[in-house]
Chain A
Amino acid sequence: MTTTVYVPLDSSARAVGADEVAVALTAEAARRGDDIHIVRNGSRGMLWLEPFVEVDVDGTRIGYGPVQAEDIATLLDAGLLTGADHALKHGAVDALPWLERQDRLTYARMGVIDPLDLDDYQAHGGLAGLRNAIALAPQGVVDVVAASGLRGRGGAGFPAGRKWQTVLDAPGDTKFICCNADEGDSGTYADRMLMEGDPFTLLEGMTIAALAVGATQGFIYLRSEYPDARDILREAIEAARGYGWLGDDVLGSGRAFDISVRIGAGAYICGEETSMLDSLEGKRGMVRAKPPLPALEGLFGKPTVVNNVLTLGSVPFVLAEGADAYASRGLDRSLGTQVFQLAGNIKQGGVVELGFGVTLRELVEDFGGGTASGRPIRAIQVGGPLGSYLTADQLDLPLEYETFAAAGAMVGHGGIVVHDDTADMARLARFAMEFCSEESCGKCTPCRVGSTRGVEVIDKITAGDDRQGNLTLLLDLCDVMTDGSLCAMGGLTPMPVRSALTKFPEDFGLTAQEVSS
C-alpha cells in the first residue's frame, strides 16, 4: 500500500531544508522498500516547525517537525509511515491547537492540498465561488462583495465592493484586473505563501473580479524576490487554461478572461498601486497623482481593478459561502478575517487567520509564544516598515483598522514584527529614513531629499550634536514629509520615526520631556 507523505514546497520551508528532506525521504524509503508518494504541499503556516512533514495514516494526517534530512533514518526506524511516536511528532495536524483556534477562510486550503492539482482544489471547495459568480449578473457579484464588507488587504483598507462598482460603472470595452503581488513590506509573507501553496484561489478571485466588472485581461505584478511563486503561478495559469477556466470561454460562460504574470525588478515603491501600474506598463515605477483614480484611468489609461493578493484571495470564499458568512467575522467596520503574520524575533512565527478584533497579545504571546530570544519584548511594528512602533504596554490593542488608526498606528497588511529589548530604536528610526531614501521613486521632494536629510539629522541627534535644535528640525522634517508627499512612502515614513522618538527617547539620548515639549 502506498503511503502519502507531505513535504512543503513553500520557500520558507525550502530555506530551512525541505528539499533536502524530500530527497532523503525518497532515497531512504527506496532503500528500505517502503512504498511512499511524496506530495509537495503549501505550508500550514507553522513556520517554526518547518520543514513540517505530514504522513497520511488511514485518512488522518500526522505531523512531524522541524525535520532535517539527517532525521529521516531515525524517523523511518521509529515508524514514521504508521504515525508512530518520535521526539519530533506533534500528532494529528487538524487537532493542533495552533491551527484549531484559527478561523481559516482565505487560507482554508493552505497546506492541505497539492497546490497544482485542480481536482484536489475542487474537492476542497475550489471553483464553487466562480461557478456562483457565473450564475449572477455582474452587478449581482459586485453586490455580494460589497455586502461582505471586504476591504483591501494591501494596507489601505479601501472597500473592495466600492472599487469594483466604480470599474463596473466606468464606460469602455477594455478593462483590467491587476493583482498587486509586490509584497515588499518586511514582516509580511502571506501573499507569497498563498501564491505558492494555493495559487488557484488567487486566480479564482481574479476571474470573479473580471466577471464582475467586465474585464478580459488580468495581470499579476509579482516581485522578483519571489521566484518560486512565479514558477507556481505560471504553472497554475497553464493548468487553468487547459481546464477551460482561463481563456475564451470561462467554464462555458461565454465570457473571456486570461491572466499574465509580470515580474518587478527590485523596487519597493512598485507596491504602491499607481507606481505598480507604471511599472506594469514597462516604465519607471513613478507614483501618479490621484485623481484620476486607477478605477477610471488605470493600466494603459483604462478602468482597472487593483487589488492585493489576499483581497482577491478572499473573494472565492465570499462568493461560495455568501456575504453574511464572511461579514459574521470581524468587528465594527473591519469585517471578515485577516491573515496575520508573526515575524521578527518571535518564538513561534507563522500565519494566523482570525477575525479582526483579536488583540496583539493573543497573537504575539498566545500564538507566538513571545520572543525567540526569550528576552522581554521592547517594540512591535505592525503594518510594515511604514507602521508605527508600539510598546509592550500596547499589547491589548485589538487589531482593527479604526482602533489602530486612533492609536496612531496601522493594521496594514497584517504583518507583526517583534523586537526584543536589545533593539536600538534610534537605529531603527534611522533605518526607516535610510530605507525611504533608498526606495523613494523621487517624484516628491520631501520624500526624495527629506529622507536623506532625515538620516543626517538623526545621526546628529544620536551623536549629541545640538540635540534640541536637531530634534526640532527632525520633527519639522517629519511634518513636511507627511504633508508634502503624494503616496505612503514619504507620507508614512515619519510614523516609525516619530513613534520611536516619543516612545523610546532614551535611545536618542533624549528625555521624554524634551521630546514632548
Chain B
Amino acid sequence: MTERSLSEIPGGVPPDAADPVSARIGEIAEARAGEPGPLLEILHDVQHEFGWLPESTVPALAHVLNLSRAEVHGVISFYSDLRTSPAADVEVAICRGEACQAVGAEALVAHAADRLGVGIGEQTADRSVGLEQIFCFGNCALGPTASVAGRLHGRVTPERLDALIDDTQAGSSTP
C-alpha cells in the first residue's frame, strides 16, 4: 500500500477555488465557523440559499470545519430534510401520523400518488410537483394535514388537495 499524501486525506483537500458554488458555500460556513457545533446550522443555511445541497457542499464544509468528508456526508444522509438533489417546484407533503391516519390520511396519500403518478419521495417527470410524507405537523385535531408549497392546510379532503395543487399550477405556462 502506498503512503498517502496530506492532500489525499479526506477533508484535507481544499475545495475547488474556481467553483463559485463551492466558494459561496465556504463563505456561508465561515460565517458560523466560530459557533459551537455549527455543521447542521450551516447545512440549513446552504439549503436555504440553494434549495438543496450541491455536490461541492461536502468537500467545502469538510475543509472549513476541519471534519472528514465522511462526517459531513454522514450528517447529510441522516436527516430527511436535507436534500442532495433539487426540490420540485411545488412540494406536497402529507402527514402520515396516527392522528391524521384516524381521519383518512392514508387515503389522501393514495389519492395524491394516483393523481400525480408518483410515489412518496418522488417528483413528476417535469419536476413541477414532488410528493413527500411527513410525520406530524402538530395539527392533530384538524387533520388530515398537508403542506402545499410551504403552506399548511387542515381538514384536507382529496378534492381540496386537488384544488390546492391546481392553484399552484395556475400561474405556470402549462395548462
Contacts and interface: CB of A to CB of B under 8 A. Distances in A.
Contact of B44 (A191, A265, A300, A345): A265
Contacts of A420: 102
Contacts of A183: 136, 138
Interface string A441-461: 100000000000000000000
Contact of A282 (B41, B99, B141, B152): B41
Q: Name, among A50, A189, A224, A431, the residue most crowded by chain B CB atoms within 10 Å (CB to CB).
A: A189
| Residue of A263, A343, A423, A435 with highest tally of chain B CB at under 10 A | A343
Interface in B87-120: 95-103
Contacts of A281: 36-37
A262 B81 CA distance: 14
A415 B140 contact: yes
A357 interface: no
Given A184-B136, A225-B134, A14 B75 contact: no
A175 interface: no
Given A12-B138, A225-B137, A262 B41 contact: yes
B142 A188 contact: no
A435 B135 contact: yes
A12 B101 contact: no
A417 B105 CA distance: 14
A15 B74 contact: no
A275 B100 CA distance: 26
A226 interface: yes
A381 B98 contact: yes
Q: Which of B38, B100, B135 has the most CB of A within 10 A?
A: B135
> Which of B95, B97, B98, B143 gathers most chain A CB within 10 Å?
B98
Contact of B101 (A193, A266, A342, A431): A431
Contacts of A282: 37-42, 75
B80 interface: yes
B98 A417 contact: yes
- Which of B37, B39, B74, B141 has the most chain A CB within a 10 Å cutoff? B141
Given A189-B138, A189-B140, A385-B98, 7 more contacts: A16-B153, A187-B98, A225-B134, A225-B137, A262-B40, A349-B141, A431-B96
User: 6 closest pairs, A vs B, by CB?
Assistant: A349-B141, A186-B97, A265-B79, A344-B102, A343-B140, A282-B39
